[in-house]
Amino acid sequence: MDVFDIIGPIMVGPSSSHTAGAARIGHIARELLQERPVRAHIKFHGSFARTYRGHGTDRAVVGGLLGMFPDDVRIRDSLAIAEREGLKVTFETVSLRDAHPNTVVIEATGESGRTLTVEGASVGGGNIVIRRINELKVEFTGEYNTLVIPHRDMPGAVASVTNILAYYNINIANMKVYRPDRRGEAMMVIETDQEISRELVEMLAKLPLVIKAMNIEKCRR
């Protein structure tokens, strides 16, 4: 336990779960989209669905999508900022099966037309868990520097990535591989102790069996 488990994160209030955690989920969605979002359809479940206006969860998620961290005072005005910057946002309340009460689903479209769906839960104290990327169930928290690497599910794909990380002295803290079917598209989620440079991400993206490489810097507390 550290001090942030006791007093909570540095944030724009009123709630670490409903604003700080929500902003972090929005920020990670932007990182995974890899470009400026121009449209976002945001679905709130459970407690989020009941209180998102009063607790500012809508503004927090949109602030994250705009690249704001939980302590950015502009979050209070994020809906107006989104309108000025050309980000069209819609909201919906939904009922999801077996989901945490503070769950949001973000369906984002980037300026190139790229689309992305991210499902995340705010689990208390500003902490989050990302549960789904597009149709693939995953699980990571953003507490580490995190590589998200869609790849072809073939022998050698994982080794090609981990060998490069080892060569550059990047220590893997946690790693999971998710796949819906054998020999289809799978996804590595690799949490590392060290920061990952842009050059290294670009190198990983060029590996033969890698479809894309995305890097999420660990959360700012």
Residues of the chain with CATH 3.30.1330.90: 3-134
Of 3.30.70.260, 1.10.260.40, 3.40.50.300, 3.40.50.2020, the CATH number of 145-216 is: 3.30.70.260
pLDDT tens digit sequence for 178-208: 998 777 899 999 999 999 999 999 999 999 9
Rounded Cα distance between 182 and 141, Å, is 26
Q: Where are the beta strands (DSSP E) in 79-201?
A: 88-94, 102-110, 115-124, 127-133, 136-140, 145-152, 172-178, 185-192
The kind and range of the H/E element at 38 are strand 37-46
pLDDT for 137-151, tens place per residue? 999 999 999 999 999
Q: What percent of the chain has pLDDT over 90?
A: 82
Q: What counts of helices (H) and strands (E) characterise the chain?
A: 7, 10
What local confidence, expressed as pLDDT, does residue 220 receive?
59
Q: pLDDT grade, residue 6 (50/70/90)?
A: very low
> Is 5 or 138 the better-scoring residue by pLDDT?
138
| Residue 159 confidence (pLDDT) | 97
Indicate the pairing of strand 37-46 with strand 88-94.
parallel
What 3-state DSSP class applies to 69?
coil
Q: What angle do CA 213, 214, 215 make, to 5 degrees?
A: 130
Q: pTM of this prediction?
A: 0.88
Strand order in 172-178's β-sheet?
Answer: 172-178, 185-192, 145-152, 214-216
pLDDT band of 103, cuts 50, 70, 90: very high
| 3-134 CATH fold | 60s Ribosomal Protein L30; Chain: A; (3.30.1330)
Confidence (pLDDT) at 205 = 97
Confidence tier at 5 by pLDDT (50, 70, 90):
very low
For residue range 65-102, what is the model confidence (pLDDT) as tens digits?
999 998 899 999 999 999 999 999 999 999 999 999 99
| Domain(s) of CATH 3.30.70.260: residues in the chain | 145-216
